[in-house]
Structure 1
Amino acid sequence: MDTPGPGLKRIENNRSLTQRAVESVREAIHNGTLQPGELYSVYKIAEDLGVSRSPVREAMLRLEETGLVRFERNKGFRVVFPGPQELAEMIAVRIALEVPAARRAAARYSAGAEVDVRLHQEWRAMKAAAELDDERLFIHHDQRLHGIILELAGSAYVHRIVENLRDATRLVGASTIRGSRNLQRVYAEHTPIVEAILAGNVEDAGEAMDFHLRETGRILLQDAIERDGSMFDLATLWARLID
């Protein structure tokens, strides 16, 4: 059974130990400390985090509900690498949740709400990261921007669901930023989303978010199909689960 190693950050305060454990495990998955398919011990994770096993087990049960990890009886747990079918379902869920959320966020401004400065800040930070060609920083601000939009829509619970879905899809290939889709292009896809929300344009905000998620989804799904070596066909799987 592999040792998680230095990527797990010890929990230093008492703020919801379970939630802190969730965040630490997710970060370990992001940075590659926890690898898909390897078997890990809840006891060892708790030891590395400096907490008891109870909040860690609760954290893993939460992550299991999202499909990010799988328990094996009397052995431990594994980080789950989503296959093409599972990935397509995740993409479909994100579209179903985030498109109406973008519309609700725009409706908030249409009704005269005060602009949330964080939206501007993350948008500008994404642009700066794109200009620096800093993929890790860009992805960080990308994720925060999507989270703020969900918060503006009054969707705190949906925000947590989407965060877990993003974690799972990042296992497929940390991002879609490669070759034909660079940082500038991804930033350009976010621009009409933010502009429509700030302008209070409900329909344009939904359409721009829908376009962005579908562009991202197709690239991720094609990569998953090629890596899996399966007989899945992108067009067929997309039409059956998403369109």
Structure 2
Amino acid sequence: MTGIDFGVPTFAPAVSALDATPMSLAERAIKAVRGAVRSGALIPGELYSVYRIAEQLGISRSPVREALLRLAETGMIKFERNRGFRVVLPTPHDIAEIFAIRLALEVPAVRRATLQADIRDRRALRQQYAAMEEAAQIDDEPTFEHHDQKLHALLIDIEGNNRTKNIINNLRDATRLVGASTVRSDRSLLEVLVDHLPIVEAFEAANPEAAAIAMDCHLRTTGRLLLSQALRQSGKQDEELAIWEQLID
């Protein structure tokens, strides 16, 4: 089994009474595991030990097990009885399911967020877009992806549904296992940037229907490209249209 280098310890030796609750530790363990998946420290298919993860995080196995059970519900990991767990690479069908869910959640969320936003919210979204643009100009994909995710998360924060935000974050992490994004193989960072612009402009104009339409278009474009990537990897690219139409169109 492969160990994981999480770099700087995620948990301080001493925490406050609130932070020391099992639920709080589980949340922090989820964040650490998701971060390791994003960075590539956790490799799809490799077998990992719950005990070893807990040891590296400096906490007991109970909150780590709770965190992994919750991640297993999202499909990101799979337990093997009495052996440990593996990070699961999503199938093409999984990709289509993920984007069906994202369309169902994010399109109405951006509509509501556009209605509820104030001038500070609109300024904050434009700042995230500007940060994406700056990263795109210097071809800094990790920074671009960071602000891309923050832009989407900000819209959900404005809409006010934390459960939706958590679900979407988990779904985004799952699709990252196919390939960090559609960048390089299908689109440049600047092309991805431009794909977000109609969302930002409609949001700034306080036009909820235009924002929803723009988000719908963005997610469909990204979903089809990721599905195509996954099918190329599996050698079944001719199935793309059937899978997409079955679950989304």
The whole-number CA distance in structure 2 between the counterparts of 1:187 and 1:171 is 21
RMSD (CA atoms): 1.5
Answer yes or no: is 1:59 the counterpart of 2:64.
no
Answer yes or no: is 1:97 the counterpart of 2:102.
no
Counterpart of 2:53 (choices 29, 40, 45) is 45
User: Equivalent residues in 2 for 1:91-240 (5 A)?
Assistant: 91-109=99-117, 113-116=118-121, 117-230=123-236, 233-240=239-246
Q: Deviations over 1:4-50 (max 9, x none)?
A: 23458432245311111101101111111111111100100000001
The whole-number CA distance in structure 2 between the counterparts of 1:188 and 1:3 is 39
Q: Quickly say closer, same or farther: Cα 1:168–1:3, change in 2 above 3 A.
A: same
Q: Which blocks of at least 5 consecutive residues in structure 1 are unaligned?
A: none
Q: Deviations over 1:119-151 (max 9, x none)?
A: 222111111111111001000000000000011
Q: Which blocks of at least 5 consecutive residues in structure 2 are unaligned?
A: none
The whole-number CA distance in structure 1 between the counterparts of 2:175 and 2:186 is 19
Greater Cα offset, 164-173 or 95-104: 95-104
Q: Quickly say closer, same or farther: Cα 1:82–1:143, change in 2 above 3 A.
A: same
Secondary structure at 1:233 match in 2:
helix
Report the counterpart of residue 25 of structure 1 in structure 2.
33
Letter in 1 for 2:82: N
Q: Is the 8 A contact 2:228 2:237 kept in 1?
A: no
The whole-number CA distance in structure 2 between the counterparts of 1:190 and 1:161 is 21
Aligned residues: 240
TM-score (norm 2): 0.92
Letter in 2 for 1:161: I
Q: Deviations over 1:66-117 (max 9, x none)?
A: 11001111111110101011111001111111111111111114xxx34324
Q: Is the 8 A contact 2:51 2:61 kept in 1?
A: yes
Q: Is the 8 A contact 1:7 1:31 kept in 2?
A: no
> What is the Cα deviation at residue 153 of structure 1?
1.3
TM-score (norm 1): 0.94
Greater Cα offset, 42-51 or 148-157: 148-157
Letter in 2 for 1:3: G
